Amino acid sequence: MNIGFIGLGTMGGSMAYNVLKAGHKLTVHDIRREAATPHLEAGATWADSPRRVAGASEIVFTSLPGPTEVEAVALGEDGLLQGMRPGNVYIDLTTNSPALVRRIHAVFAAKGIHVLDGPVSGGPRGAKSRKLAIWVGGDQEVYQQCKPVLDAIGDQPYYVGPIGCGSIAKLVHNCAGYTIQCALAEVFTMGVKAGVEPLALWQAVRQGAQGRRGVFEGLAEHLLPGRFDPPSFALRLARKDVALAVNVGREYDVPMRLANLALEEMTEAINRGWGNLDSRVAMRLQEERAGVEVRASQEALRKVLENE
């Protein structure tokens, strides 16, 4: 298959090389021609503009820094729109704005060109080894047609939903990760300043309930099915634990902004009469503020977990 790839940076360079290794014909472009040297040496063809990449390709991938660059490459002068033909597919692997993705999709659809958003997760090492998740939004039939090429890039391509859904999934993942990172910095500085040696603290907490499972696994137990009774761990007990941690932070002059916010949430939930329900019931407060419920049936969850 004739594949185009634009953006040969830390992530894109490795992903493009894996497309080439899978046996596809590859046309590449980057603002720095030297970034394409290993690809050209391995048999890829250089194109001097996104439009020329598009003209030589059935599927074009972009892996770019952000929305500004994607908009310029897709819609700008000498861009993809000017070179792609009806029936071609444009797949953006960038962590991008869902609104921009949807706008590009509408513009390209008017010319009979398909667009998928497919941001990736796995870092530079995963891009090189093909150990990447690819979260795809767009037409599911188009996704299935492109899956063999996506399989060349990552070992976990996954169809999320209509256009923009891949980008939203990536933003949920990354925002959660960096927020958790801030919380970990907060509680570890508290623990070390209170007298625990850093390595011993890290080794200890890795053996606890949170350390033994993935960050998102607990959602399948209570929030997604909306099942908070019987509790795995009661809210009133969880609130007590967070209050104790905040007190230690206060004792050792460690700022505990996120922990105090969590304590306020839990206190409000207790004042709703939820103290004897599972501790995750406090998440319902955010559902109320957002005006949406985060729910999936237990049967659907069971099928997902059984297929992993």
Q: Which residues are catalytic?
A: 170
The answer to whether 115 and 109 have CB atoms below 8 angstroms apart is yes
The answer to whether 118 and 135 have CB atoms below 8 angstroms apart is yes
- Residue pointed to by tokens 């985060």: 294
What's the distance, CA 16 to chain centroid?
Answer: 20
- DSSP letters, 227-281, are --SS-SSBHHHHHHHHHHHHHHHHHTT---HHHHHHHHHHHHHHHTT-TTSBGGG
Q: 227: helix, coil or strand? A: coil
d(CA 231, CA 249): 28
Contacts of 124 (CB under 8 A, 6+ apart): 10, 11, 14
d(CA 39, CA 251): 58
Closest CA to 93 of 13, 179, 181: 13
